Amino acid sequence: MNEDRVLLIDKPAGITSFGVVARVRRHLSQEFGHKAKVGHTGTLDPFATGLMIIVTGKECRNAGSYSKLDKVYEATIHLGQTSSTGDPEGEVTEVSDLIPTAEQVAEMLAKFVGEIKQRPPMYSAIKINGERAYKLARKGEVVEMPERTVTVFSLDLIEYTYPDIRIRVHVSSGTYIRTLAEDIGKDLGTGAYCTELRRTKIAEWDVGGAEPVANYEY
C-alpha cells in the first residue's frame, strides 16, 4: 500500500481547502489503519472550484515545490459593484452604472498581461505577524497588505455580456484573481468583483484528470 501519493481533487464550491484535506485524511486514515499525513499545495477560496493537488505521506515534503507552479483559472468578473471580500461572500456595494464597450474591455484586459503589481486581499490566508490575514479582517483590524509582483502570462476574453466578463487567465504562483478582478473594475471605472472562479490547471496537471472529493466520503 503506497502512502506517499499525489492526488488530484476537483474541489466543489462551498467547502474550504482545509475541509477537502480533512475529508481525504479521514478516508485515507481508515484505509491505512492509522492517521494519514495529508497536506495541500495551495488553497482555493470556499466559493471557488477546481483543481487542488493533495499530497500524502512523504510526498508532503514536496508541497512547497507544487505550490510555486503556475496556474490557469476561468473566472467571471461582475462589473458595477464591489465586494468587501472581492467575491460573493462579502458585502456588495453599488459603484457605477457605466457600461464599457467590448473594445474598452479588451483593451483593459490586455494591459494586465505581463508583470504587474498586486496588493493581496485582506480576506486571504497570507500570514501577517504570524496570524492569517482573514482572521485579522474578521476581527475588524485593518492591515496594510504588502504589495507583490506577479506575472500574468495570458489573459483571454471568453465572453462579455454586461455586467459580466468571463476570462481565462494563466498566472504565476501567488496571483490573486479576486484582486485582478477588482483592479480591472477600478481601471474601467465601474468597480468589480469575482463571482465565479475555477482553477483548471496547475502546471501540466489538468482538472479533467481530477477526482471529485465525493470519492473520499465514507
DSSP SS3 for 76: strand
Residue 1 forms part of a structural domain: no
| b (16+ CB within 10 A) / e for 159-177 | ebeebebebebbbebbbbb
Distance, in Å, from the CA atom of 20 to the CA atom of 170, rounded to the nearest integer, reads 24
Worst-scoring range by mean pLDDT, 34-43, 104-113, 164-173, 206-215? 34-43
Give the pLDDT mean for 27-36.
93
* Domain CATH code at residue 154: 3.30.2350.10
**Which domain, by its residues, includes 90?**
71-200
Domains contained in the chain, number: 2
pTM for this entry: 0.90
Q: Are 137 and 76 contained in the same domain? A: yes
Return the pLDDT at 122. Answer: 61
Residues 6 or more apart whose CB falls under 8 angstroms from that of 6 comprise 53, 54, 55, 59, 66
Give the pLDDT mean for 45-54.
96
Give the pLDDT mean for 18-44.
93
Q: Are 26 and 102 contained in the same domain? A: no
Distance, in Å, from the CA atom of 191 to the CA atom of 182, rounded to the nearest integer, reads 7
pLDDT tens track for 104-119 = 999 999 999 999 999 8
Contact 76, 195 (CB under 8 A): yes
Active site residues: 45
Distance, in Å, from the CA atom of 171 to the CA atom of 162, rounded to the nearest integer, reads 25
Give the pLDDT mean for 129-157.
74
Distance, in Å, from the CA atom of 67 to the CA atom of 74, rounded to the nearest integer, reads 19
